[in-house]
Amino acid sequence: MLSVHVDLQERSYDILIEAGMLPRLAEILKRRGLPERLLLVSNPRVFELYGSIVMEGLSDGFSVEEILIADGEQHKNLDTASTIYTALIERQADRSCGLIALGGGVTGDIAGFAAATFLRGIPYIQIPTTLLAQVDSSVGGKTGVNHPLGKNLIGAFHQPHLVCIDPQTLSSLPEREYRSGLYEVIKYGLIRDRRFFEFLESSLDALLKRDPKVLQTVIRRCCEIKAEITSQDEREGGLRRILNLGHTFGHALEAATGYKHLTHGEAVGYGMKAAAALSARLGRLSQEHCHRAALLIDGLGERPSAPVPFADLYQSMQQDKKRSRGALRFVILEAIGEAAVVEAPALEDVEKAWVEAVSGD
Ligand SMILES: NC(=O)c1ccc[n+]([C@@H]2O[C@H](COP(=O)([O-])OP(=O)(O)OC[C@H]3O[C@@H](n4cnc5c(N)ncnc54)[C@H](O)[C@@H]3O)[C@@H](O)[C@H]2O)c1
Ligand SMILES: [Zn+2]
């Protein structure tokens, strides 16, 4: 079994990666002294697919009850968190219990938030089942829900006690969801690891076919990079910001298209192309590297078109600007594998980079 350690003093934990690990969960959890009473949060779709494997896998030594929440980003809100609290209270859960988040990033974020806040914090385990959740959202301890006025505005940092990744769960993931996760995979190569980027370039076909060996390598490397970055900067005071490559453009694009037209990953795909173009415009990235970044991003296949005028995009960016105390912040590349953060670049450059990134699409 592959294991990646997230080093955060008393909040340290492991990320375990192995295809077919779910039936063996009891043995794995016992060795780590996890609570014997567990409440599993999932949605009907994922629970139908993997609920019984997980419940049976834990039956030897654990008591597990399920709490099902509605599927979809539109339900990632305080009402859903509240239904989890109600279920926990009705079932007389106490601080000796733990939660399990079984599902994609939405389930992980809400269940993590419930674990962070119920009785001022109980332990939780992540069992991510989308590629995005396996390489990104299940690691790092950011939990939260959306508010009608904006995404992820309410949340807490609460590190999981363990992350169990079974890449076999990806076999049932719809193609579009799978590809959406691959944009975040490319992000790790771009911001931190040129060799990994080159591996992705040469393994793209196998990756698109979900080759188990390639997938395992990819998930491990992404988790290592996220673990390394979040151990150095748990609360996003500096280094962790580079994980937002493509996200200033991407978030604005998602907002400007009403969160309906594109998945998060697809928006980040456009965003990373724009960020690479901006880096080249600012004289920080060579044309060759900019071109290679765009080629790999586009290699994932066609995305829905994004005909958003820059003025609309810029208006949506104001939300990010408020969050970073007035300055619009962009992660840029200095080479493939090296990222930096710039504040308030000339608007003309941002606009031209955007136009360049969406032209030809
Ligand atoms: N906490 C963080 O650090 C962090 C980082 C990135 C993203 N996020 C959050 O993650 C969320 C997006 O996560 P997501 O892309 O996983 O979306 P998601 O959780 O909505 O899952 C996508 C869809 O796939 C289904 N699904 C999940 N696993 C499946 C499987 N194995 N087979 C078939 N279907 C399956 C889900 O039920 C859902 O319908 C966003 O809310 C975003 O804000 C959080
Ligand atoms: Zn993202």
Per residue in 67-100, pLDDT tens?
999 999 999 999 999 999 999 999 999 999 999 9
pLDDT at 60: 95
Measured between alpha carbons, how far apart are the two ends of the chain, in Å? Answer: 41
Q: Which of 247, 273, 289, 303 is catalytic?
A: 247
pLDDT at 150: 85
- Ligand 1 pocket test: pick from 74, 137, 176 the residue with the most ligand atoms within 8 Å of its Cβ: 137
> Which CATH number fits the domain that encloses residue 46?
3.40.50.1970
Give the number of domains in the chain. Answer: 2
Q: Which tokens belong to 230?
A: 């979040």
pLDDT at 322: 66
d(CA 37, CA 5): 25
Beta strand 37-42 with 63-68: parallel, antiparallel or unpaired? parallel
Residues of the chain with pLDDT under 70: 321-324, 360-361
Quick one: which of 51, 211, 31 has its CA closest to 127? 51
Rounded to an integer, what is the distance from CA 242 to the centroid of its chain? 14
321 and 198 inside one domain? yes
Q: Which of 251, 281, 289, 329 is catalytic?
A: 251
Q: Which residues pair with 13 in a beta bridge?
A: 6
Q: How far is the CA of 346 from the centre of ligand 1 (A)?
A: 35
71 CB under 6 A from ligand 1? Answer: yes
pLDDT at 360: 58
Q: Which residues pair with 2 in a beta bridge?
A: 17
160 CB under 6 A from ligand 1? Answer: no
pLDDT at 10: 92
- Ligand 1 pocket test: pick from 47, 177, 260 the residue with the most ligand atoms within 8 Å of its Cβ: 177
| Residue that terminates a domain, selected from 172, 191, 224 | 172
Other Cβ atoms less than 10 A from the Cβ of 344: the count is 13
| Residue that terminates a domain, selected from 172, 205, 226 | 172
pLDDT at 227: 96
69 and 103 inside one domain? yes
Q: Which tokens belong to 352?
A: 């031209």
Domain containing 181 equals 175-358
130 and 229 inside one domain? no
Which pTM value belongs to this model?
0.96
pLDDT at 96: 96
> Which CATH number fits the domain that encloses residue 213?
1.20.1090.10
13 and 137 inside one domain? yes
Q: Which of 161, 192, 221, 226 is catalytic?
A: 226
214 and 280 inside one domain? yes
137 and 85 inside one domain? yes
Q: How far is the CA of 41 from the centre of ligand 1 (A)?
A: 14
| Residue that terminates a domain, selected from 131, 153, 172 | 172
pLDDT at 159: 97
Quick one: which of 340, 358, 336 has its CA closest to 186? 336
- Do residues 220 and 2 lie in contact, with contact meaning Cβ atoms separated by under 8 Å? yes
d(CA 110, CA 112): 5
Q: What is the DSSP string of 120-161?
A: G---EEEEE-SHHIIIIITSS-EEEEEETTEEEEEEEE---S
Per residue in 315-361, pLDDT tens?
999 877 666 677 899 999 999 999 999 999 999 999 999 999 988 55
pLDDT at 321: 67
